[in-house]
Copies of this chain bind each other. A is one copy, B any other.
């Protein structure tokens, strides 16, 4: 397998990206092509011992920033690391594309350069959603690639998410749940009602509606919702976790006078923070495009880069895109009944 890594994307590029690549390479036999400004990347690479046969640099003179408009950037910055990397994937010069760059540009780039899988009109971002109650983390699809969804989009999110969870993250017979106003069938909007019908008929383990209250306990393996709701779920979780931790820190440390007590509490706070540490889980695949591509958080450090690469390998290795293609073709009959 050959991993194509965007060397210029993210808040800590290229330093942490390159460091993560070196660390990942040490734990596997696959090759990594780091795409970006050659001088800058080689400058970072030279800080480490690495196998020159395993890590290679592909020069790309332009960078797409977070301020760039996605469509314009993909059309105009032809020599950017994202456009170049995705073109390499398209042309078979690599098997998996990984980037911490502009999310919108990655989604648009995937759609325009790789193309959509036949039958998919809206690719989705699938993000790992942590579980707090000792349950297993879930996969949230769509985490914000599209703002609006038709019922069959939600069916496709559930199907693609189920395949990814099983083939890439190794979860057996993943439970798929639809985010809704209540657990009973017949709840929700006209879109969620019809999506419920379609998901019920799909060859996946659909467990029905789930309420947002149950998400933090890992109620299902694949959490299906439109990208607007998915964005709200991810961002609210982030905002709440961050502010609750801040509040705890303030409340608990304020009353502690003995140094030993403060040290004890600080170590416990550190453990709490780890529960919310997304870097453990790897990145977020963009499902529905014709190629294996994984988006990392913009703030990814070397550990996140390393984990994303290592955990993403089965995406390419198990030919998951081909599995999704076949599964989506099989859904035609269910979708045909869409009201």
Which residues of A does B touch, CB under 8 Å?
A: 132-133, 144, 147-148, 179, 181, 188-190, 192, 211-217, 227-229, 231-241, 243-244, 246-248, 251-252, 255, 261, 264-265, 268, 271-272, 275
Number of copies: 2
Distance A275 CA – B272 CA, assembled complex (angstroms): 19
The chain B residue sitting closest to A236, CB to CB, is B212
Residue pair B232, A179 in contact (C-beta under 8 Å): yes
Tell whether, in the assembled complex, residue B243 and residue A132 are in contact, meaning their CB atoms are under 8 Å apart: yes
Contact indicator A213/B236 (Cβ below 8 Å):
yes
Q: Which residues does chain B contribute within 8 Å of A188, judged by CB atoms?
A: 147, 228
Chain B residues, CB < 8 A from A239: 212-217
Q: Is the CB of A248 within 8 A of B248?
A: yes
Docked CA distance A173–B144 (Å)? 33
Q: Which 6 A-B pairs have the closest CB atoms?
A: A213-B239, A212-B236, A212-B235, A213-B235, A212-B232, A132-B243
Q: Nearest B residue to A149 by beta-carbon distance?
A: B189
Cβ-defined contact, A251 with B232, below 8 A: no
* Residue pair B240, A252 in contact (C-beta under 8 Å): no
- List, sorted by A's number, 24 A–B pairs whose CB atoms are closer than 8 Å: A132-B240, A132-B247, A133-B243, A133-B247, A144-B181, A147-B181, A147-B188, A147-B192, A148-B189, A212-B239, A213-B236, A214-B239, A216-B236, A216-B243, A216-B244, A232-B232, A236-B236, A236-B237, A237-B240, A241-B244, A247-B272, A252-B252, A252-B268, A261-B261
Q: Given the complex of chains A and B, what is the CA–CA distance between A72 and B244 in angstroms?
A: 42
In the complex, chain B residues whose CB is within 8 Å of the CB of A211? 235
Residues of chain B with a CB closer than 8 A to A237's CB = 236, 240
- Docked complex Cα distance between A246 and B241 (Å): 13
* 12 more A-B residue pairs beyond the given contacts A132-B247, A147-B192, A188-B228, with a C-beta to C-beta distance below 8 A: A133-B246, A144-B181, A189-B228, A192-B228, A212-B232, A216-B236, A216-B240, A216-B243, A228-B229, A229-B229, A229-B232, A232-B232
From residue A239, how far is it (CB to closest CB) to chain B in Å?
4
Shortest Cβ distance from residue A156 to the other chain B in the assembled complex, whole angstroms: 19
Quick check: B228 and A243 within 8 Å, CB to CB? Answer: no
Contact between A236 and B233 (Cβ–Cβ < 8 Å)?
A: yes
Q: How far is the CA of A64 from the CA of B244 in the complex (A)?
A: 37
When distances are taken between beta carbons in the complex, the residues of chain B under 8 Å from A236 are 212-213, 215-216, 233, 236-237, 240
- Smallest CB–CB gap between A287 and chain B, Å? 19
A251 touches B228 (CB 8 A): no
Q: How far is the CB of A204 from chain B (nearest CB, A)?
A: 23
